[in-house]
Amino acid sequence: MLVEIGAWQFRRFRGRLYIERAQPDVAAGFREAWAGENALPLLVLGGVLRFKPEEGRGVSVRKLNSARVTVRLRSGGERFQPDARRPRRTLKNLLQERGIPWWRRGRWPLVYCGEDLVSVPGIGDDCAWQADRSEAGVIISWETFEQA
């Protein structure tokens, strides 16, 4: 359900009411490069992607240095494996399970290294890209401007 009044949108999802400002469409093929900074503002997505250095946790910095790191949006069909003990699953299913409203899923930032999906903030890091215990890592988080 969606009701628009002026610049505001009222939506219901899983029994909750969401009141948000209407946001412009994001251009197809959205891609933003990460150059190692601690915060990457993504104004068109309505938030900031944060990168916190942490030893032995998060995404391996060594592996991230292997190719260009970019932030992209869902294109459909992405598969992701945040836990090595569980099978690779569709990103759509993981976002649904986490309770992320459907209209936000298309604006959710995905972190790629080369062509590999390495992190989905709020969901986890792909198990093949996770830092080892004594390795430099980076914890990636997504903060919308309403929460910041």
How far apart (Å, rounded) are the C-alpha atoms in residues 133 and 81?
19
The answer to whether residue 140 sits within a structural domain is yes
User: Which pTM value belongs to this model?
Assistant: 0.89
Report residue 63 as tokens.
Answer: 């592996």
Read off the pLDDT band of 148 (50, 70, 90).
very low
Half-sphere exposure of 37 (CA within 13 A, CB side): 11
Q: Kind and range of the H or E element at 48?
A: strand 47-55
The answer to whether residue 14 sits within a structural domain is no
The answer to whether residue 11 sits within a structural domain is no
Residue 3, Cα to own-chain centre: how many angstroms? Answer: 26
Q: Which residues of 96-123 are buried (b: 16+ CB within 10 A; e: fewer)?
A: eeeebeeebeebbbbbbbeeebbbbbeb
Tell me the three state secondary structure of residue 44: helix
Report residue 62 as tokens.
Answer: 């060594």
Name the residue type at position 85.
R
The answer to whether residue 119 sits within a structural domain is yes
Q: What is the CA radius of gyration of the chain?
A: 16
The answer to whether residue 18 sits within a structural domain is no
The answer to whether residue 10 sits within a structural domain is no
Domain count, the chain: 1
Q: Give the structural domain span for 52.
A: 26-144
The 8-class DSSP code of residue 24 comes to: P
Tens of pLDDT, residues 8-51 = 989 898 889 988 888 878 888 899 999 999 999 999 998 999 99
The answer to whether residue 136 sits within a structural domain is yes
The per-residue pLDDT for 28 is 83
